[in-house]
Amino acid sequence: MSQTQTIGDFLEWSRCPVCDGGERAEYVGFSALTFSRCASCSAVYKSKEARGLLPAGFYEQGYFKAASRGVTSASSAGCARRWAKLPTV
C-alpha cells in the first residue's frame, strides 16, 4: 500500500499505488510536484507534492461519490474550471 510521508513542506509517496513497488525513478519534476516511474510495473504516479498545492475544496463532494452513481468521468468544463483556479508556482 502506498505510504504517504510529510517531509518539510512536501507530501511524498514512497511506494507505487499500482503494484506497491518501492523502487522508482523520477519521470518529471517541477518545483511543487514530482512524478515517478515504478521500476516494477512502469506505472507513472505522483510521488511528491507541495503541501497546500491544491486549495481546499478543489474536488467537490460529488467527485468522490460519482462512481457510486454510475458516473465514470468528470465533465471537461468542470475540470477546466478547477484547474484554472490553481495557483501558479
Q: What is the pLDDT of residue 31?
A: 87
Q: What is the pLDDT of residues 30-88, one digit of tens each?
A: 888 899 999 999 999 989 888 877 766 666 666 666 555 555 555 555 666 666 666 65
Mean pLDDT of 14-28: 91
**34 and 72 housed in the same domain:** no
What is the SS3 assignment for 53-83?
Answer: CCCCCCCCHHHHHCHHHCCCCCCHHHHHHHH
* pTM over cut 0.75: no
Residue with cell 499505488: 17
State the residue range of the domain holding 44.
1-53
Nearest-angstrom CA–CA distance, 78 and 89: 22
pLDDT band, very low/low/confident/very high, at 6 (cuts 50, 70, 90)? confident
Query: How many structural domains compose the chain?
Result: 2
The reply to whether 13 and 28 lie within a common domain is: yes
